[in-house]
Structure 1
Amino acid sequence: MSLPQLLDHTVLRDMNPADLAGIVCIEQRVHPYPWSCGNFTDALKSNYVCKVYEAEGEILGYVVLMLAVDEADLLNISIVAEYQRKGLGRQLLGAIMEVARGCNMRRMLLEVRSSNAAALGLYRDVGFRKIGMRHGYYSAGNGREDAIVMEYLL
Structure 2
Amino acid sequence: MEPEQSYRQVASATRRIRSLAPTDIPDILSIELTGYSHPWSEAIFRDCFRPDYRLWGLADGDGLQGYAVVAYLFDEAHLLNLCVGARWRGSGAGRLLLRHLIRESFREHMQRVLLEVRRSNAIAIDLYKTEGFVQIGERPGYYPASPVREDALVLALEGPEAG
TM-score, normalising length: structure 2: 0.88
What is the DSSP-based 3-state SS (H/G/I as helix, E as strand, rest coil) of the residue aligned with 1:86? coil
2:92 is matched with 87
* Correspondence 1:101 to 2:86: no
What does 1:68-147 correspond to in 2, within 5 Å? Answer: 68-147=73-152
Shift of 1:8: 2.3
* Correspondence 1:65 to 2:73: no
Shift of 1:7: 4.6
User: Are the equivalent residues in 2 in contact too, given 1:6–1:55 (CA < 8 A)?
Assistant: no
TM-score, normalising length: structure 1: 0.93
User: Are the equivalent residues in 1 in contact too, given 2:79–2:113 (CA < 8 A)?
Assistant: yes
User: Are the equivalent residues in 1 in contact too, given 2:10–2:96 (CA < 8 A)?
Assistant: no
4+ residue runs of structure 1 moved beyond 6 angstroms?
none
Structure 1 residues not aligned, in runs of 5+: none
What is the DSSP-based 3-state SS (H/G/I as helix, E as strand, rest coil) of the residue aligned with 1:45? coil
* Correspondence 1:151 to 2:150: no
Residues 6 and 58 (structure 1 numbering): CA distance in 2 closer, same or farther, change over 3 Å?
farther
Shift of 1:77: 0.5
- For the residues of structure 2 that align with 1:45 and 1:89, how far apart are their CA atoms? 23
Structure 2 residues not aligned, in runs of 5+: 1-8
What is the DSSP-based 3-state SS (H/G/I as helix, E as strand, rest coil) of the residue aligned with 1:132? strand
- For the residues of structure 2 that align with 1:18 and 1:40, how far apart are their CA atoms? 11
What is the DSSP-based 3-state SS (H/G/I as helix, E as strand, rest coil) of the residue aligned with 2:49? helix
- For the residues of structure 2 that align with 1:125 and 1:61, how far apart are their CA atoms? 20
| Structure with bigger RCO (C-alpha 8 Å, 6+ apart) | 2
1:15 is matched with 20
- For the residues of structure 2 that align with 1:143 and 1:29, how far apart are their CA atoms? 21
Shift of 1:69: 1.3
User: Are the equivalent residues in 2 in contact too, given 1:17–1:41 (CA < 8 A)?
Assistant: yes
What is the root-mean-square deviation of aligned Cα atoms in Å?
1.7
The structure with the greater share of residues assigned to strand is: 1
